Every structure is written in structure tokens, then in C-alpha cells.
């Protein structure tokens, strides 16, 4: 009986044959056989299934395999994985089946590509969790990410068939994460296409308008390229250099992005095109030298713009990109960008990571791309419990703008623009970061929050007495620094909680009692806390004393704490069964001005549900109130703040009572104004009292002397008004200090 093939079957077979016949690295016996085997499994698994576009689903894995092979230059295992990448996720086939028929390595890659569902809590982002699982395979095989990029690229190429809302979600996800990831892995052409396709689906009218404007300029630019290139070609031929020269338009996305950032119309974008010269390097001269020789030939013809030279042949970008960029004045007064690179450099620029590994076989030196992957692996060793938080931290590592920082010994560290000296400390080693107190930048002593510039030489000053603080999270940019600090703080908090738990159990044991929900329901409201972890923590640090524990437990209280957005409100409750009382109440209550917000001390300040008003800068101990703004945020003001009076008179229904709990871990910035008569050693006495006797951290001191009188201000970190009042009292006793007072409004 003959098998009848439909027109669709013929189309599918033709696409697969094209993949197989153009396989660039199918040079071993059995390579094509395993690809055919993977195709058959995928065809059987997806039989009868169609994409939104109406075409057979198997066309998608074939297309992804083509991208992996033709556009990325990956090998046989990657082609097999691309063909099978949706089999386990969408069909009844299992990872065990893949491992039995294709081996452990292919099964591992497929597992990394397989989405997960039903495992994580509802608050987690499905895409974030999926992406984190995929990244975990970086510790084994980076091909997972490369195949995922190919999968995303084909989905973007066929996005028209999806509903509008789905298109917007996928396009936004692509520009946020996948395009920067492609750039970081060195796939410039894929990154550019992802950016353009994302713009096309997010802003179709803008995309169409820019496309039309570029099309209208094509003929004009083509003649300009020929005129500009003619003398360069002549000079290169005269020097017997084998080369290729062409003109390329900037991508539509990069033009649009420049219009947005520079706030200029299309007509004022003058560098729409770049001229690229790709030459065949000779073995006897270093490639870098050949790049500069060609640059010299060009500048003999056209005048260069010195400040627009970009030398990525001496110091390649972190994604492995090497090229020499220069801008010269061309005919008719037009500035033209020229890119000069060897064929090897060009292949790495276009094919990124795959080409990087191809050429690395002859050079075992660790590249910036290797270092980046190592940093991601370190990040994955201590992933955060919140997938979205992890995704944000990972995004920090996808920087496209880089600076180069030197260690005291001259070693180069590649870092993103906008990093501080504290980021650099953690880049060297987490232990250096934990103990950092200051930095010498170009031999000048500066604070840790000082922004670094490319070319800075940085030495970190450390002290064994220092340790990470919560406020450091506001001074850093890199994921490595943020992860290290959070890990340290969480470990310290865990230790503190465990210590407090043991202390409480010992005290209860003296009373012949054991910890129970009944005991906690007396202790937590009594100390105005939020949960038993906070109780343990404050017992461990001595903030809460248990000398009157017996008296507290004898008290009869009917108040319970009910959670509202993580803030705590006091509300009476009726008696419940023992089973119900074992669980913490989770019933939300409506905000009213009769409720009292307890301003708790958060373990992670980023999770704080209220914001301190900058206009009056209240600290624990100040009389305060809360104001619920239009965004449903609670803003905490001092009672005597001028804005408070205004809010109470005009928006009283949004005012709520607020009360501090005891704060000892978080520090608050305050300013004191100080004045006195000049005498020898007075400044030293003031700083000694603050730093050594009272153990308060100084941020800045600004004192000036004139005609025997000195005055100024000191910014410092305190825990509460008790600390501040104690400090003011001690400083006022110093001989020569005439007056000292808190500056109420520093915002």
C-alpha cells in the first residue's frame, strides 16, 4: 500500500531537507542519522498540532534548528535539541525517554528548555521562574540559552498570528530581557533583529514610518557610499590587502532609541549609516596592528574626529566584541562612522558565543565572556526565593555600556556604567566588600558611594570591625554586590533569630513552660511586634528584655494583630477554636483613621510597605502620622511637619495614626546644626564623641571657622530619637560648643 503525502507533508520534508543538506558541522559519521531520528520523534510527537498561524507545529522546531545551525553556527547536539525542545513540554514524551534514546547531555539541555508549572507560588512570575530554571543549566551547558534565544527569535518572526495582547507581552519581554541577553552573548545580528521586531509590534505606526523614511534615503546613500569608498578601496588595493567594504544602515530600533534619548527628529540623525571594512589578516602581523594600519590609511584621505575613536581591539567588550571604530569627515561635509575588523573579529561580532568558542581553541586565555558566565554561575549558587527579584538581579548583569577599572596592581575589571567603589569592592571578592570602609580612587581617599569612571584606579580600604548594612543596598548597581549583601544580611538575621529563640526557650523553661501559639499571642501584641521572628531577633540583640516575662504572660489580652499589606493593625477578635488560633490571622482590613500603623523594622528595607517623607525626615521616636497617597502608598510624616497640617486640613480621610516599634538594625540619616567658639582640638573632640564613645556613623561634616566662631552641620546615622538626644547631650558638654540642635527639614 502506497503512502499518500499531502502538500503540507511535502513542505515539511522540504524544510527539513534544507536543514540537513546545509548542516555546517555534520562532518562525523552518524551526525545526520541522529538528526533524522530527532526529526522523526518530533514529527510523531507534534502530529496533528498546529500553530496559531495554521501551519503544522513541526515547522517551528525545524525553523529553530535552522537558526541554531545557520545563524549561530552551533553543532549537531544543538540541532537535535532544537528539534526536540518542545517535545517534553507539550507532549507525553518524558525526559527519561529523551535520555534513553539520545543520551544524558541532550536530555539535560532539553530539561533546561522545558518550562515548569504548578511548582511555584501564585505570587511568582511564571516567566521569571522559567527563565531562572533555564539559567541554572549554565553551570552545565550554555547551549540551553542559545537555543532559547533561537526559539524566541522565531517566535518574534511569526508573532503576527498571535492576539494583540499576547503580542505586546512577548514583545515587551523580548526588549527587556532577550535582546540584552543576545547582546551580552555577542550575537549582534540577532540582538538587532529582536530589537527591531519588538519595536514593530509595540509601536507599529512608528516602525512603519521610520522604515519608509529610511527607504526613501536608500538611493541617495548608495551613491554616497560609492563616492566615499572609492579612494579607500584604491589605497587598500595598493597595499595588497584582501578586504570587503560595505555600508550598513543603523537598525530601526537604534534610530528610534537615539531619537528618544537625544530628543531629536529623524531628520537630525546624521549617522544613519556606518561603513564596515572586513579584512583578511596576515599571519606575520598582529591583527590589532593591521587595524591601526588601515585606520592610518583612511585618515590620510579623510580627517578624523579624535573624540569619536572607539578602540575595542586593544580592550575587547565584555561580550568578546573586537573592532576599531572611528568617525571621519566625508564628502559634502558628512560625518561617517567606519568600523575596521578582521574576518575573525567579524565572525565573533556576528555569531557571538559560538564563534568565541571556535577561536578559543587556539587561545586558552579567559575572556570577559568567560568571566561573565562565571559571575552568573556565582549568582545562581545563592538564588533569591523571589523569582522576580532574581530576574532583576540578573538583568543588572546584562549591561551594554561598560567601563574599565584598574586594581592597584594594574589588573583590568570590566564593569557597567554607573557603578560605585562599593560595587568594585564586591567585584574583587565578597569578603573585601563586606569589610570595605572607603576607597582610594586615583590615590585620593573617597567614600564608597563615589561613582567610578572608565580608567579609574581603585584601592579598597577595609576594616575587620565593619560589616554590611541595609543602606548599602541603595549604593550599589551590580547583581554580584546586591546578592552578596542580601545573603550576608539574611545569614546574620537567621543567626540572630536562632539565638533569640534559644534565649526565650530557656526563660520559659525556668517558668516550666514551652513555646506555644498561646504564649506568642501574648508576647507579640505586648511588645507591639509583627511576628515571632521579629520577637526572637529583638530578644537576641537585647532590645527586648524578658525580666518581667512571668508578669506579661499572666496578663489577659484580647487583642490580636491582623496583617494589612504587611503593616500591623490592632483589632479585637472573638474567641476561636484552638485549631483556628494556631494559624496567624490573614484577614485584610480596610484602612481607617482609627487604625494604628505599627512602623516595624523590616529585615529587607526593599520590602518596606511605608515610605519616610523627605520633607521632614522622621526617625523612630518622633511623633508621626501616616498619609495614604493616590498610589495607595503610606507616607510617614512628623506631626509638626508643615505638610502634615496641610494634609490634615484637606485630606483628613486619608490620615492614619502611626507608631514606631523599637528600631535597632536600620539607621536613619539626620542632620544636626552646631556652633561654637574656636579652640584647638575641638573638632577632634566632637568626632571622637560621635564615632568612638557613642559608636555613631558619620556621613559628612561641614564646619567652617571665621573670626573665632565656627559653625556648620554634621550628617550622621542614628537608630532613633533616643540615640540622637543622647548624642546632642554629650556634644553640648564639650568645651567650646555653644549650641547644637537637630535640623528638622533636610529634604
141 is catalytic: no
Please tell me whether residue 536 adopts helix, strand or coil conformation: helix
Q: What is the pLDDT of residue 81?
A: 93
Most confident of 191-205, 388-402, 673-687: 191-205
- The whole-number pLDDT of residue 665 equals 57
The separation between CA 430 and the C-alpha centre of its own chain, rounded to angstroms, equals: 18
Residue 170 has pLDDT above 80, yes or no: yes
pLDDT at res. 390? 52
- The pLDDT confidence band at residue 502, using thresholds 50, 70 and 90, is confident
DSSP H or E segment with residue 138: none
Least confident of 312-316, 647-651, 721-725: 647-651
Q: Residue 385 — very low, low, confident or very high, per pLDDT cuts 50/70/90?
A: very low
Examine the pLDDT at 425 and tell me if it is beyond 60: yes
pLDDT in tens, 318-357: 777 889 999 998 887 788 889 999 998 888 887 765 565 5
- The average pLDDT across 577-596 equals 42
What are the DSSP calls for 434-503, one per residue?
A: HTEEEEEETTEEE-TTPBP-TT-BEEEEE-TT----GGGGGS---HHHHHHHHHHHHHHHHHHHHHHHHH
431 in active site? no
Mean pLDDT of 22-33: 84
pLDDT single digits (tens) 279-289: 999 988 999 99
**Is residue 119 scored above 50 in pLDDT?**
no
Q: How confident is the model at residue 580 (pLDDT cuts 50, 70, 90)?
A: very low
Q: Which residues of 663-673 are buried (b: 16+ CB within 10 A; e: fewer)?
A: bebbbbbbbbe
Return the DSSP state at 596.
E
Does the pLDDT value for residue 566 go beyond 60? Answer: no
pLDDT over 70 at 161, yes or no: yes
Catalytic residue among 90, 287, 350, 459: 90
Q: How many CB atoms lie within 10 A of CB 477?
A: 17
- Does residue 424 have a pLDDT over 80? yes
- Spell out the domains of the chain, with CATH numbers in brackets: 7-202 (1.10.3210.10), 205-360 (3.30.460.10), 558-666 (no CATH), 668-742 (3.30.70.260)
Decide: helix, strand or coil at residue 716: strand
Is pLDDT of 36 > 90?
Answer: yes
pLDDT of residue 30: 86
Tens digits of per-residue pLDDT, 256-296?
A: 988 888 888 888 777 777 899 999 999 889 999 999 999 99
Q: What contacts 295, CB < 8 A, 6 or more positions away?
A: 324, 326, 340
Whether the model clears a pTM of 0.75, i.e. scores above it, the answer is no
Indicate if the pLDDT at residue 606 is higher than 90. no
Torsion sign, CA atoms 276, 277, 283, 288: negative
Q: Residue 379 pLDDT > 60, yes or no?
A: no
Query: pLDDT tens for residues 94-111?
Result: 999 999 999 988 998 888
Q: Which residue has the higher pLDDT, 375 or 627?
A: 627
pLDDT value at residue 373: 63
Name every residue whose Cβ is closer than 8 Å to that of residue 252 and which is 6 or more positions away in sequence. Answer: 196, 199, 200, 207, 210, 211, 214
Q: Shortest CA distance to 420 belongs to which of 508, 482, 499, 371?
A: 482
Q: Are strands 634-638 and 610-612 parallel, antiparallel or unpaired?
A: parallel
Q: How far, CA to CA in Å, does 729 sit from each of 204, 479, 737?
A: 66, 42, 11
Report, as an integer, the average pLDDT of 721-731. Answer: 84
Q: For residues 623 and 723, what is the distance between their CA atoms, to the nearest angstrom?
A: 16
Lowest mean pLDDT among 78-87, 234-243, 532-541: 532-541
Average pLDDT over residues 161-172: 86
> For position 205, what pLDDT does the model report?
92
Predicted local confidence at residue 1, as pLDDT: 40
Q: Return the minimum-mean-pLDDT range out of 1-15, 249-263, 498-512.
A: 1-15
For the chain, the average pLDDT equals 78
Contacts of 261 by beta carbon, 8 Å cutoff, 6+ apart: none
Question: How far is residue 170's CA from residue 155's CA, in Å, rounded to a whole number?
Answer: 9
Residue length of the chain: 747
Tell me the three state secondary structure of residue 315: coil
The mean pLDDT of 584-611, rounded to a whole number, is 53
Residue 397 CA to residue 477 CA, distance in Å, equals 9
State the pLDDT at residue 649. Answer: 63
How many Å apart are CA 38 and CA 591, to the nearest integer? 59
What's the pLDDT at 745? Answer: 61
Report residue 165's pLDDT band, with 50, 70 and 90 as the boundaries. confident
- The model's confidence at residue 122, banded by pLDDT at 50, 70 and 90, is very low
Of 9, 18, 44, 89, the active-site residue reads: 89
Give the three-class secondary structure for 250: coil
Q: Name every residue whose Cβ is closer than 8 Å to that of residue 652 and which is 6 or more positions away in sequence.
A: 593
Predicted pLDDT of residue 204: 92
Q: Which residues contact 198 (CB under 8 A, 6 or more apart)?
A: 156, 171, 172, 174, 175, 179, 253
pLDDT tens readout for residues 658-716 = 877 655 556 677 888 998 877 777 888 888 888 766 667 777 888 887 766 788 888 88
Report the percent of the chain where pLDDT is more than 90.
19
Amino acid at each position: 500500500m502506497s503512502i499518500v503525502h499531502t502538500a503540507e507533508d511535502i513542505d515539511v520534508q522540504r524544510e527539513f531537507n534544507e536543514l540537513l543538506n546545509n548542516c555546517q558541522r555534520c562532518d562525523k559519521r552518524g551526525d545526520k542519522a541522529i538528526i533524522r531520528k530527532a526529526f522523526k520523534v518530533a514529527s510523531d510527537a507534534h502530529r496533528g498540532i498546529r500553530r496559531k498561524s495554521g501551519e503544522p507545529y513541526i515547522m517551528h522546531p525545524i525553523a529553530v534548528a535552522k537558526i541554531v545551525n545557520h545563524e549561530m553556527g552551533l553543532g549537531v547536539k544543538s540541532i537535535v535539541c532544537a528539534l526536540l525542545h518542545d517535545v517534553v513540554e507539550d507532549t507525553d514524551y518524558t525526559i527519561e525517554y529523551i535520555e534513553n534514546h539520545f543520551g544524558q547531555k541532550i536530555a539535560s539541555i532539553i530539561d533546561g528548555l522545558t518550562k515548569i508549572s504548578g511548582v511555584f507560588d501564585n505570587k511568582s512570575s511564571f516567566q521569571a521562574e522559567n527563565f531562572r530554571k533555564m539559567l541554572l543549566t549554565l553551570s552545565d551547558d550554555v547551549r540551553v540559552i542559545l537555543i532559547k534565544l533561537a526559539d524566541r527569535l522565531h517566535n518574534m518572526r511569526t508573532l503576527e498570528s498571535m492576539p494583540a495582547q499576547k503580542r505586546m507581552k512577548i514583545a515587551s519581554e523580548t526588549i527587556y530581557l532577550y535582546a540584552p541577553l543576545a547582546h551580552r552573548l555577542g550575537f549582534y545580528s540577532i540582538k538587532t533583529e529582536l530589537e527591531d521586531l519588538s519595536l514593530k509590534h509595540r509601536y507599529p505606526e512608528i516602525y512603519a514610518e521610520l522604515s519608509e523614511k529610511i527607504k526613501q534615503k536608500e538611493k541617495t546613500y548608495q551613491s554616497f557610499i560609492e563616492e566615499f569608498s572609492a579612494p579607500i578601496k584604491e589605497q587598500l588595493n595598493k597595499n595588497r590587502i584582501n578586504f570587503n567594504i560595505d555600508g550598513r544602515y543603523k537598525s530601526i530600533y537604534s534610530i528610534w532609541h537615539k531619537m528618544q534619548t537625544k530628543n531629536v527628529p529623524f531628520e537630525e540623525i546624521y549617522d544613519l549609516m556606518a561603513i564596515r571594512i572586513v579584512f583578511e589578516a596576515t599571519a606575520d602581523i598582529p591583527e590589532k596592528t593591521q587595524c591601526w594600519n588601515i585606520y592610518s590609511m583612511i585618515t590620510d584621505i579623510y580627517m578624523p574626529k579624535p573624540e569619536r575613536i572607539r578602540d575595542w581591539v586593544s580592550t575587547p567588550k565584555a561580550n568578546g566584541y573586537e573592532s576599531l571604530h572611528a568617525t571621519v569627515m566625508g564628502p559634502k561635509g558628512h560625518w561617517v562612522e567606519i568600523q575596521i575588523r578582521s574576518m575573525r573579529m567579524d565572525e565573533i561580532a556576528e555569531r557571538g558565543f559560538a564563534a568565541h568558542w571556535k577561536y578559543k581553541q587556539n587561545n586558552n586565555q579567559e575572556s570577559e565572556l568567560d568571566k561573565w558566565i562565571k559571575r552568573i554561575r556565582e549568582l545562581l549558587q545563592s538564588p533569591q526565593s523571589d523569582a522576580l527579584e532574581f530576574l532583576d538581579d540578573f538583568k543588572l548583569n546584562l549591561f551594554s555600556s561598560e567601563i574599565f577599572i584598574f586594581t592597584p596592581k594594574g589588573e583590568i575589571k570590566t564593569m557597567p556604567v554607573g557603578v560605585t567603589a562599593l560595587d568594585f569592592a564586591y567585584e574583587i571578592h565578597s569578603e573585601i566588600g563586606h569589610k570595605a570602609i572607603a576607597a582610594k580612587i586615583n590615590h585620593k581617599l573617597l567614600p564608597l558611594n563615589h561613582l567610578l569612571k572608565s580608567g579609574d584606579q581603585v584601592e579598597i580600604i577595609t576594616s575587620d570591625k565593619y560589616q554590611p548594612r541595609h543602606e548599602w543596598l541603595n549604593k550599589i548597581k551590580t547583581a554580584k554586590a546586591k546578592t552578596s549583601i542580601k545573603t550576608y544580611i539574611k545569614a546574620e538575621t537567621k543567626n540572630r533569630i536562632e539565638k533569640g529563640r534559644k534565649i526565650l526557650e530557656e526563660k520559659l523553661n525556668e517558668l516550666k513552660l514551652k513555646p506555644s501559639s498561646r504564649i506568642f499571642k501574648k508576647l507579640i501584641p505586648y511588645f507591639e511586634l509583627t511576628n515571632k521572628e521579629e520577637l526572637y531577633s529583638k530578644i537576641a540583640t537585647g532590645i527586648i528584655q524578658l525580666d518581667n516575662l512571668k508578669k506579661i504572660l499572666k496578663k489577659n489580652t484580647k487583642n490580636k494583630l491582623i496583617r494589612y499589606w504587611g503593616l500591623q493593625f490592632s483589632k479585637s477578635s472573638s474567641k476561636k477554636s484552638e485549631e483556628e488560633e494556631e494559624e496567624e490571622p490573614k484577614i485584610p482590613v480596610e484602612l481607617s483613621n482609627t487604625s494604628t500603623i505599627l512602623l516595624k523594622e523590616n529585615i529587607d528595607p526593599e520590602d518596606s510597605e511605608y515610605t519616610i517623607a523627605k520633607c521632614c525626615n522622621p526617625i523612630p521616636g518622633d511623633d508621626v502620622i501616616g498619609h495614604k497617597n493616590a498610589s495607595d502608598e503610606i507616607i510617614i510624616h512628623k506631626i509638626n511637619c508643615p505638610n502634615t497640617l496641610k494634609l490634615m486640613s484637606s485630606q483628613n480621610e486619608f490620615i492614619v495614626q502611626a507608631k514606631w516599634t523599637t528600631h535597632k538594625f536600620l539607621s536613619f540619616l539626620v542632620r544636626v546644626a552646631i556652633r561654637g567658639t574656636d579652640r584647638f582640638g575641638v573638632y577632634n573632640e566632637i568626632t571622637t564623641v560621635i564615632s568612638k564613645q557613642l559608636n555613631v556613623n558619620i556621613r559628612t561634616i561641614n564646619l567652617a571657622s571665621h573670626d573665632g566662631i565656627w559653625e556648620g552641620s554634621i550628617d550622621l546615622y542614628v537608630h532613633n530619637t533616643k540615640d540622637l538626644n543622647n548624642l546632642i547631650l554629650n556634644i553640648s558638654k564639650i568645651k567650646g560648643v555653644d549650641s547644637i540642635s537637630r535640623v528638622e527639614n533636610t529634604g
